[in-house]
A and B are shown apart, each in its own frame.
Chain A
Amino acid sequence: MSLPRLMEDYMKSLREFANIFFKNKFGVVGVAILSVFIFMAIFAPQISPYNPMDVKSIGIGKPFSPPAWIKIFNKDIPDDSVFGILGTDELGRDIFSQIVYGSRISLLVGFAASFTAVFIGTIIGLVAGYYGGIIDEVLMRFADILLIIPGLPLMIVLAAILGSSIRNIILVIGITSWPSIARIIRSQVLTVKEMKFVEFARAAGCGDNYIIFKHILPNVMPLVYVNAAINIANAILIEAGLSFLGLGDPNNISWGMMLFFAEQYQALLRLAWWYIFPPGICILLVVLSFIFIGHALDEILNPRLRLRR
């Protein structure tokens, strides 16, 4: 088959899938919200008025100033006590800029960590499920141990040891998340393995690699996608949590880190809602979009409306 034809077929089935996907309300809302944030992340320098990592942006406004638009409700507030769209933090930096740039970290870590976990988990799940026997036992014991050791505490330890950089956070989340994916993939592989067409392929003399990649993997992929979406959501939440505990990368600003600083500098006491509300809402929305997308995929790919013949 020629490449143009393959691409044509692929695009057709993609279009068909998109059709069905966008009929699902959760899917539409999820993709819509996600698009906003992806746009924000890509065009951060254009959208945000200041670069929060730039030393010059410190002290742009008075520290802990509420946003400018509250003047609509209270005209008596002096002009230099308010600032910008979302006010300022403890160092007088613009919060809106931090929010915009923060989207980059959350999305980056979310995608990368999840990709790592899904990649490792799928491979291990495939191998364990397909070959069975000792390989399966060993791999699954290993996965079980990782599942038993408490997740967040383990990540805290690893992050504190390895040092806080984006790469390490991604690694830490990826390494601790693959077991649950591996288990799910493995049980699906076990089911697919029993199906007739695999038997036929083997009888026709196909090699193991061929069977795994050409027959089993395509039947496992839908499950992988659903889990990937949920995994990204979890990864983003975990990154936010680790940053909140102070284990985030100090060279970058993420939404979790904003809340870390907020807590450290008594934003709660000062009732600085403009510092606390926005980062959390952003985390919520991004995570929500992935959860919605995952749920939409689950509804579509899960044959709960089985027709009886």
Chain B
Amino acid sequence: MPLLQVRNLKTYYQTARGYVKAVDGVNFQIGEGEVFGLAGESGCGKTTVALSIIRLLPPGGRIIDGEIMFNDKNILAMSEEDIRKIRWKKIAIVFQGAMNALNPVMKVGDQIVEAITTHEDVSKEEAWRRAEKLLEMVGIEPSRAKDYPHEFSGGMKQRVMIAMALACNPQLLIADEPATALDVIVQAQILKLMRDLQRKMNLSMMLITHDLSIIAETCNKVAIMYAGKIVEYADTKRIFREPQHPYTRGLIGAFPSIKGPRRKLISIPGTPPDLLNPPSGCRFHPRCPYTNDKCKSMEPELKDLGGGHYVACHMPW
């Protein structure tokens, strides 16, 4: 059984102007020890998926429909009490921009200790020792546990977040744009760190990002999200070698390759859709070079192309 199974998840935000359909029927699953990538433009609903899984939506957000099966139990049907037990202990999350994700008036060590003592029955001293070891594991001087967040640089804060996330040995780690706000060198370090930790602890990981190169490096499977829906889903290798959906093709083509021949960068024309009133039929049709009438009126279902490769597109390839 897969560790996490998301079925037909629909999460909307209620705003003064109506419902924003951030996540509109999303399906995927993550197995044990698997690294799953969720890719797409900013605002396509990726973070909302993550927040839905741990049920921490901001005010105005509501999960309208669907099931999230974790270890064969539906998260969406759990009581507040039960889901709090799962948070961090089983599913931990690292947010993007750790700039503000750590409490500025608490020592870093105390924040990690808090995570541990909430879920496990250990003494404060024991927890503090574990916190120091965790910091060491992510490459930070253990003595710095008594420092405050503002005394760390961006990259180091991200490491602290990762250390904190792994404090209770979770089964699933969700990383939302873990390296986006950092410069390239630090980015590479953080990613390597995460890969090593994942392998060592046999963690399942859900990596959310708009940066396909990160996905190419780290993930086993990828789902491409657009306008609240998943448009393509396959092994990483297959998606990069044979992208089927025009949006995926555009995304991959938009990234230059140092090794490959010089060519013109493909960019996807148009702007991301308004999720208050998404386009009819296939949501990508206003920006797709291959649109026909069917695309404008009928929403494509995810087609199984064989070998675990799914595409939501009307075009026969």
Contacts and interface: CB of A to CB of B under 8 A. Distances in A.
Interface string A290-309: 00000000000000011111
A308 B43 contact: no
Interface string A9-31: 00000000000100100000000
B16 A307 contact: no
16 contacts: A20-B16, A23-B16, A305-B58, A305-B59, A305-B60, A306-B58, A307-B13, A307-B58, A307-B60, A307-B61, A308-B47, A308-B51, A308-B58, A309-B42, A309-B43, A309-B47
A20 B51 CA distance: 28
* Chain B CB within 10 Å, residue with most, of A20, A305, A306: A305
Interface in B44-95: 47, 51, 58-61
A308 B43 CA distance: 9
Contacts of B47: 308-309
Contacts of A23: 16
Contacts of B16: 20, 23
A224 B16 CA distance: 23
Interface string B14-37: 001000000000000000000000
A23 B18 CA distance: 13
Nearest to A24: B16
A20 B16 CA distance: 7
Contacts of B51: 308
A23 B47 CA distance: 29
Given A306-B58, A308-B47, A308-B58, 8 more contacts: A20-B16, A23-B16, A305-B60, A307-B13, A307-B60, A308-B51, A309-B42, A309-B47
A309 B47 CA distance: 6
The interface residues of chain A, by DSSP majority, are classed as loop
Chain B interface size, under 10 / 10 to 19 / 20 to 34 / 35 or more? 10 to 19
A116 B47 CA distance: 47
A306 B13 CA distance: 11
Nearest to A20: B16
B265 to A, nearest CB: 23
B272 to A, nearest CB: 11
Nearest to B96: A309
Interface in A191-241: none
A299 to B, nearest CB: 11
A27 to B, nearest CB: 13
Q: Which 10 A-B pairs have the closest CB atoms?
A: A20-B16, A305-B59, A309-B42, A309-B47, A308-B47, A309-B43, A305-B60, A308-B58, A307-B58, A307-B13
B176 to A, nearest CB: 9
Nearest to A306: B58
A305 B13 CA distance: 11
B69 to A, nearest CB: 25
A20 B59 CA distance: 18
A306 B57 CA distance: 11
Contacts of A308: 47, 51, 58
A140 B208 CA distance: 46
Contacts of A307: 13, 58, 60-61
Contacts of A309: 42-43, 47
A194 to B, nearest CB: 15
A306 B97 CA distance: 15
B38 to A, nearest CB: 13
Nearest to B56: A308
B172 to A, nearest CB: 20
A15 B23 CA distance: 31
A308 B42 CA distance: 11
Contacts of B59: 305
Contacts of A306: 58
A19 to B, nearest CB: 8
Interface in B128-184: none
A201 to B, nearest CB: 23
Nearest to B43: A309
Nearest to B46: A309
B84 to A, nearest CB: 20
Interface centre among B13, B16, B42, B51 (most CB of A within 10 A): B16
B163 to A, nearest CB: 23
Nearest to A304: B59
A23 B13 CA distance: 18
Nearest to B45: A309
B40 to A, nearest CB: 11
Interface string B84-127: 00000000000000000000000000000000000000000000
B7 to A, nearest CB: 24
A307 to B, nearest CB: 6
A307 B275 CA distance: 13
Contacts of B60: 305, 307
Pick from A20, A23, A308 the residue with the most CB of B within 10 Å: A308
Contacts of B61: 307
